Structure 1
Amino acid sequence: MTLCADWIAEGAGNHGSTFAGNPIVAAAAGATLAGIQSRDVPANAAAVGEYLRAELGAAVDAHDLPVREVRGEGLMIGVEVKRGSMRVLRDLAIEEGVLALPAGRSVVRLLPPLIIDEQHADSVVESLVEVLS
């Protein structure tokens, strides 16, 4: 419970809710943060995100895909396509089983789980190549 006590002592503000801020919620939050720290989730997100962006860029060049830019930070990745993103998103979901979101009319937004590994990243790249080819 030190986590909640420290938070309140620092003057972070009022946290009022019927079902929040109780010992069970505090224990769950503490366990979640401990898991994130022990697995070094931020470092994994940075490393796999860099890998995924590099692999996407290489695939765009190798297959001459209709992509203007691959950009992002960590695992927040945007693939700006030359034609509308909605068709790409539909095909990714229906044909390849990859969930992604639009970010405007021309950007396919990838937000994979922070614990993704390079094997899963490769699968996403293969799916995008298939849909964009």
Structure 2
Amino acid sequence: MTTKAIRRELKFTQSPAVVWRALTTREALADWMYPNDFEPRVGHRFTFRVPPDPRANMQGLVVHCEVLKCAPPSELEFTWVVGEGWLDTRVSYRLEADGDGTRVLFEHSGFKEDSAFHGAGYGWKMMHGKLSKTLRNPHP
């Protein structure tokens, strides 16, 4: 069975250090993603709590994650698991300096279900838009 991946190249005017904080600080992640108990250390198990969205006919859910790689300020990778293995995927961010800003290579891989793949693609587009706003008003 083949798996699918969402890949995006994101560009931000902020430095890699500022973008890294937005990706690895619990409060910043809650701003642009979901409430969480993230800690930036390999082996840490954490959750994202996705609230229900009645407009999209979506119930809330809990995403179970584990940090697989955390190499500040350039690489972050974690698992993204929903249900009893219904969705067992990986998310990775690779940051590169780009002049005064940052180029981010994002990948969410391991999709076997088309509906999950398409839903996640839509979700990441929205969340990365929120990330841009969070970066304009970063947490200290």
Same fold by TM-score greater than 0.5:
no
Q: Which has the higher contact order (CA 8 A, sep 6+)?
A: 2
Identify, as 1 or 2, the structure richer in strand.
2
Identify, as 1 or 2, the structure richer in helix.
1
Q: Which has the larger radius of gyration?
A: 1
